[in-house]
């Protein structure tokens, strides 16, 4: 079977997806280890029987709704090819807004930055790739996530990022950071979207939080001041309907310069603030 014929058949099988053509191309490119441009230019090349067997399994899994990122084991974030696994969330483009905002707030001098709930290491690695003079620590309570993030750092040769196990701040040695960033669980347990699309396959513990999705955000915002150096910044990703509640939590915790950044879909997505109260910081 030629590439063009396989793509046509796969697209038909994946017609439930709103990106059937692209899904088929990604799956085939993954198995053949070829870019999309090559598939188009050499669409008369034959797909072997062995390759067709592998492809059939991947298409069947995609028909069941399994995310393309899990099928291929990789997702691009901030132009970095990150290994992913069912132990972590799949990095999403909107989280790049948090990276952009963090870079705009970081001083020109070397700093220490903490990434809470690092997952694949996406945020820490994106920041580390842009600021090689600074040090980035990513923590996660899931051992498999820590291992995955460290493997991503090694594969991408981003030496200024390290990763360790910690349940939020719980297992950290006493220190301070000039910035803390996080994309914590913020979806309410009753949200109907949890049974739809990619999130249906992602770890529930990385998605859902108590208190209408605000429990982990509240804990992080309330505890962050004791881990921030004077003038340090906290940036959190949150749901599009949570920004006013999150802003209130920032103000109640003593942050100033509190503001919210909108994502690429024009939804309020990242709230941040500066902590300037020296007396409340670890010294």
- Same domain flag for 53 and 188: no
- Same domain flag for 149 and 264: yes
Look-up: residue for tokens 């700093």? 111
The domain boundary residue, chosen from 24, 40, 64: 64
> 270 φ, ψ to 5°?
-130, 120
Per-residue pLDDT reduced to its tens digit, 216-268: 999 999 999 999 999 999 999 998 889 999 999 999 999 999 999 999 999 99
Which residues form the domain of 39?
3-64
Residue 70 within a domain: no
Q: How many domains does the chain have?
A: 2
pLDDT for residue 12 is more than 70: yes
The domain boundary residue, chosen from 34, 64, 94: 64
pLDDT at position 207: 63
Per-residue pLDDT reduced to its tens digit, 24-59: 999 999 999 998 899 999 999 999 999 999 999 999
- Same domain flag for 93 and 181: yes
- Same domain flag for 213 and 155: yes
pLDDT for residue 18 is more than 80: no
> If you average pLDDT over residues 102-112, what whole number do you get?
95
281 pLDDT band (50/70/90 cuts)?
A: very low
- Same domain flag for 41 and 85: no
pLDDT at position 86: 87
CATH code (residue 155): 3.40.50.150
What 8-state DSSP symbol labels residue 258? E
Per-residue pLDDT reduced to its tens digit, 131-149: 999 999 999 999 999 999 9
Whether 78 and 124 have beta carbons less than 8 Å apart is answered as no
> 60 φ, ψ to 5°?
-60, -40
> For the chain, what's the residue count?
283
- Same domain flag for 60 and 95: no
pLDDT at position 283: 38
Other C-beta atoms within 10 Å of 51: how many? 15
pTM metric for this prediction = 0.86
> If you average pLDDT over residues 177-198, what whole number do you get?
74
pLDDT at position 193: 58
* Helix/strand/coil (H/E/C) assignment for every residue in 177-228: EEEEEECCCCECCCCHHHHCHHHHCCCHHHCECHHHHCHHHHHHHHHHHHHE
209 pLDDT band (50/70/90 cuts)?
A: low
- Same domain flag for 29 and 111: no
The domain boundary residue, chosen from 41, 64, 87: 64
Other C-beta atoms within 10 Å of 16: how many? 9
- Same domain flag for 60 and 85: no
CATH code (residue 34): 1.10.8.10
Per-residue pLDDT reduced to its tens digit, 55-87: 999 999 998 888 889 998 899 999 999 999 888
184-195 as b/e, with b when 16 or more CB fall inside 10 Å?
bbbbbeebeebe
> If you average pLDDT over residues 112-123, what whole number do you get?
97
Residue 69 within a domain: no
């Amino acid at each position: 079977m030629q590439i063009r014929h396989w793509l046509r058949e796969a697209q038909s099988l994946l017609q439930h997806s709103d990106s059937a053509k692209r899904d088929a191309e990604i799956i085939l490119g993954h198995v053949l280890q070829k870019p999309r441009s090559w598939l188009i230019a050499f669409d008369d090349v034959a797909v072997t029987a062995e390759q067709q067997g592998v492809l059939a399994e991947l298409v069947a899994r995609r028909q069941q709704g399994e995310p393309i990122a899990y099928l291929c084991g990789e997702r691009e974030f901030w132009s970095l090819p990150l290994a992913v696994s069912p132990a972590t969330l799949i990095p999403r483009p909107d989280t790049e807004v948090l990276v952009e905002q963090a870079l705009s707030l970081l001083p020109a001098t070397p700093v220490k930055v903490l990434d809470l709930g690092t997952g694949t290491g996406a945020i820490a690695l994106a920041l580390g790739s842009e600021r090689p003079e600074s040090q980035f620590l990513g923590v996660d309570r899931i051992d498999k996530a820590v291992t995955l993030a460290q493997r991503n750092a090694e594969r991408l040769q981003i030496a200024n990022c390290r990763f360790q196990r910690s349940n939020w701040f719980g297992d950290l040695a006493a220190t301070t950071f000039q910035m803390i960033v996080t994309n914590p669980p913020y979806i309410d347990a009753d949200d109907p979207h949890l049974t739809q699309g990619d999130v249906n396959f992602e770890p529930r513990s990385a998605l859902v939080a108590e208190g209408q999705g605000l429990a982990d955000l509240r804990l992080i915002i309330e505890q962050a001041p004791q881990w921030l150096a004077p003038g340090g910044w906290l940036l959190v990703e949150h749901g599009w309907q949570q920004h006013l509640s999150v802003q209130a939590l920032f103000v109640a915790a003593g942050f100033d310069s509190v503001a919210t950044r909108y994502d690429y879909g024009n939804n309020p997505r990242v709230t941040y603030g500066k902590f300037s109260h020296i007396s409340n910081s670890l010294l």
